[in-house]
Structure 1
């Protein structure tokens, strides 16, 4: 190897060592997670395009909204509302909702392990699943009039069914999940 190549190699290695040493000496500041997402505001916007009233939960101030978004269905042909919260104990509570749900969409959302069971939440029959992420998933179906909320944007979307599907999921104790699910389910009864 020529002297020029050796010098360049040593120079690059020295530069990399200096950068790593600088990063080790100066630890990164702890960043407090701020999502900046206001779920009720996003739900209000989504209500102009969804074939249903988007579900939310009355989250305490100590909770953080992890995400709140409308999936137009361009990739899976299932337009859906999705919102997720993190509790003060960093437990997750999520809502997925669609008037176009398919068995494949539900399976993709849950990634189920084992067989489902039937249970009742807020006097409404729901299907209980356990996902491969160890979260509990409660799937509820509701009758609804797909034309009741029709907007210009919805006219271009796939035809909604006469049922609306809610998938409520959580990593918390099942009793707490049922209480949160009851709050959401009661919005549609």
Structure 2
């Protein structure tokens, strides 16, 4: 025969399950408003704001030459600065730009650079080719990341307006060429670093 239980015993057996369901409903009622009020993820990732004309103007005054600060449509700077105090005594301009295809290219520029300084900047990569871009000859060096063989950094080294300019990154060749053209054109007419304008806020 099947065991028989009283109504009171049945209520005691069902009570824990009923209490659990009630607790879950209360918890959901508390969580849903919190989730509703939480800010949604920003579909546009944060981009640091760099006032390139102002930074480049100040850097050019320190450097004694016009630093390369070309701006292109669809590209954006995520940093730009003048670097001093290196042990080798070579001060230099450096900037980083994100390309339209979301690649990153770093540009460094120095006057009176020597082979040792250049080698340090490109991780001792050895010369492997010479290419012409924007009417200028660029030496190409590349290096493979020892921890990731698919990560190859390409370096382009050129002499522009009495300075050494190095472009480095994992971007495709057309993007390096675009930056080379913009940089060469800019250094021939460095509008942002030649002198302050009333609207630039430099004073």
**TM-score, with length taken from structure 2:** 0.61
Alignment correspondent of 2:139: 127
What is the deviation of 1:170? 3.2
Pairs within 5 Å for 1:84-99: 84-99=96-111
1:76 maps onto 2:88 in alignment? yes
1:49 to 62, 82, 90: 62
Provide the secondary structure at the position in 2 that maps to 1:59.
Answer: coil
C-alpha contact 1:51 1:99 (8 A) present in aligned 2: no
1:140 maps onto 2:152 in alignment? no
Provide the secondary structure at the position in 1 that maps to 2:62.
Answer: coil
Deviations 1:4-35 (A, max 9, x none): xxxxxxxxxxxxxxxxxxxxxx9xx8573332
What is the deviation of 1:112? 4.3
C-alpha contact 2:94 2:106 (8 A) present in aligned 1: yes
2:51 to 32, 35, 38: 38
| RMSD (CA atoms) | 2.6
C-alpha contact 2:127 2:139 (8 A) present in aligned 1: no
> Whose radius of gyration is greater, 1 or 2?
2
**TM-score, with length taken from structure 1:** 0.65
Unaligned runs of 5+ in 1: 1-25, 145-162
Provide the secondary structure at the position in 2 that maps to 1:135.
Answer: strand
What is the deviation of 1:80? 0.2
2:129 and 2:84 map into 1 onto residues whose CA distance is 30
What is the deviation of 1:167? 0.7
1:55 and 1:113 map into 2 onto residues whose CA distance is 23
What is the deviation of 1:51? 2.4
1:99 and 1:114 map into 2 onto residues whose CA distance is 21
Change in CA separation of 1:36 and 1:187 when aligned onto 2, cut-off 3 Å: closer
1:34 and 1:122 map into 2 onto residues whose CA distance is 29
The count of aligned residue pairs is: 144
